[in-house]
Amino acid sequence: MIKTLTNILTYNISHVPSGSYACYSNSDLGQILQSRTSTKSFGVSRRESHDSSSFYGRKLFKGSMSGKASEIVSPAPLNVLDRVFAHSSEDMSELPDNSVALMVTSPPYNVGKDYDLDLTLEEYLDLLERVLKETQRVLMPGGRIAFNVANIGRKPYIPLNSFVAVMASRLGLLMRGEIIWVKGRGVSGSCAWGSWMSAGNPTLRDLHEYVLVFSKDRFDRPCKGRSTIDRDEFMRATTSVWEIPTESAKRVGHPAPFPVTLAERLIHLYTFEGDVVLDPFMGSGSTAVAAKKLGRHFVGYEINEDYINIIHQRLERTTPEIPEQNKQSVA
């Protein structure tokens, strides 16, 4: 177990791809390097322009990354863009290698919803791993995965977030962080208290889910593009706790719709305008709706024809909504 968990942290962060500063001018780069601080043994109050090489040079972080990370990007064919394919994402042969900037998804949790299969835990994790492996193939270097997952059950509690993190690490993906998506605070509709007001068997009621974030091969994007995130949203998005309400299942017509606002924040944060966003478990199409609104292309996979019809209906009602004043040319 210790060896498995250690693998999650085995990044040789001393390796810095040559494209890390490709988007800065020589004068800007000089200012950045001159203004850097370095890791102190007792901590500091500020972290801007911080040189953390001594921190990441410690034995804890030494391991699997070595050599020069690839910068090869392949464009997705035009006839694939902005489409939902009606088959399993275990095979995404429509997409070439290294063509997708971001994957955003919320897979079925295999807990008895209308769209779920009744799989064993091993079968379910095998399915997720096959899809993650295909996603890894189609992601461009530096491309990101935002994988929404909830832990399930109480007898016992099944920590799917841990299983997915270990699985992704085993595939060679680099974990960037973990977002706690808070769906509600205080008293909720759940009344699964276990033993009410008794130490007999009290039960925790989850008010949150997780969004696990990974990169392929490298942490940076070795290319330039136009971002569409403003200052305030950037400050909110770069914290690890997001408070975003759930979508109405009745309004959307899906038992567990993924919030469009959650997909929007991930797309704003991790992609440039015009990038390709993938959702291998499209469901009600929230990722596609967010991508269209924000001026990105989408590619989705969904095996349920009823949900595909819902996706098309939602897309017909969606128009791009990027305020011109919020656009910034950044690297």
* Spatial distance between the Cα atoms of 67 and 187, rounded to a whole number of angstroms: 51
Write down the pTM of the prediction: 0.80
CB contact at 8 A, 84 and 302? yes
Percent of the chain with pLDDT over 90: 56
Q: How confident is the model at residue 243 (pLDDT cuts 50, 70, 90)?
A: very high
Average pLDDT value for the chain: 81
Q: Give the pLDDT of residue 146.
A: 98
Length of the chain equals 331
| Angstrom distances, CA of residue 187 to CA of 4, 181, 183, 255 | 37, 17, 12, 22
Q: How confident is the model at residue 187 (pLDDT cuts 50, 70, 90)?
A: very low
Q: Give the pLDDT of residue 110.
A: 59
Looking at residues 51-57, what average pLDDT do you find?
Answer: 71
Report the first-to-last Cα separation within the chain, whole angstroms.
40
CB contact at 8 A, 288 and 84? yes
Quick one: which of 259, 267, 303 has its CA closest to 282? 303
List the single range of 17-31, 152-166, 248-262 with lowest mean pLDDT. Answer: 17-31
At 254-287, the pLDDT tens digits run 666 789 999 999 999 999 999 999 999 999 899 9
Q: Give the pLDDT of residue 210.
A: 96
* Spatial distance between the Cα atoms of 116 and 303, rounded to a whole number of angstroms: 11
* Spatial distance between the Cα atoms of 291 and 264, rounded to a whole number of angstroms: 7
Q: Give the pLDDT of residue 69.
A: 73
What residue has token string 């804890």?
Answer: 60
Burial of 179 (0-12, 13-18, 19+ CB in 10 A): buried
Looking at residues 148-152, what average pLDDT do you find?
Answer: 92
Beta-bridged to residue 328, according to DSSP, are 227
Q: Give the pLDDT of residue 313.
A: 95
In the chain, the domains with their CATH numbers are 1-68 (no CATH), 69-330 (3.40.50.150)
List the single range of 27-36, 82-91, 164-173, 178-187 with lowest mean pLDDT. Answer: 27-36
At 288-318, the pLDDT tens digits run 999 999 999 999 999 999 999 999 999 999 9
Name the most confidently modeled range: 95-99, 118-122, 321-325: 95-99
Coil, helix or strand for 56? helix
* Spatial distance between the Cα atoms of 311 and 260, rounded to a whole number of angstroms: 12
Q: Is the pLDDT of residue 229 over 80?
A: yes
